[in-house]
């Protein structure tokens, strides 16, 4: 991994540089003080998603979901568990497709829940349907080189 990691704050959209060796220490945004890598799933809007997907040096896994979707609500705790298990090597976020319909068009989402993994400034892999935490983690491990 690079000496410094570039991360977009998912709260205020400020770009931060964090020493790679300090990712596990809970780095905070230099602008707003929000934690950058803490194993929590962060809600996003389309603008923040586009900036983070383009700029982040860490992989970003995004859950496209809606509040009325039963499978989405069932998968939410599993997605959170996977986020905790893979931190600080991967960041997890979710985008409400009901509140952000442009996101479904932009990313050609045909059904939810739908996971998209972003890495190196582009979409890297997709996974459709509700999954348990172990399957989400395996999906990420298959598509991202994880540190030992």
4: tokens are 């410094």
pLDDT at 104 over 90: yes
Task: Supply the pTM of this predicted model.
Answer: 0.93
Instruction: For each of the domains in the chain, give its residue range(s) and CATH number, in order of start.
Output: 38-143 (3.40.30.10)
Neighbours of 90 (CB within 10 A): 22
Q: Where in the sequence numbering do the catalytic residues fall?
A: 69, 72
pLDDT tens digits along 33-59: 999 999 999 999 999 999 999 999 999
**96 DSSP β-pair partners:** 65
């Amino acid at each position: 991994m690079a000496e410094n990691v570039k991360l977009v704050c998912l709260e205020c959209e400020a770009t931060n540089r964090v020493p790679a060796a300090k990712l596990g220490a809970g780095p905070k945004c230099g602008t707003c003080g929000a934690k950058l890598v803490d194993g929590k799933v962060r809600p996003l809007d389309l603008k923040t998603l586009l900036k983070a997907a383009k700029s982040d040096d860490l992989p970003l896994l995004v859950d496209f979901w809606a509040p009325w979707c039963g499978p989405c609500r069932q998968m939410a705790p599993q997605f959170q568990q996977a986020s905790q298990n893979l931190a600080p090597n991967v960041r997890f976020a979710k985008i409400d497709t009901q509140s952000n319909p442009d996101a479904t068009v932009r990313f050609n989402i045909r059904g939810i829940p739908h996971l998209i993994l972003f890495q190196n400034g582009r979409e890297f892999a997709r996974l459709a349907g509700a999954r348990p935490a172990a399957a989400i983690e395996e999906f990420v491990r298959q598509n991202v080189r994880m540190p030992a």
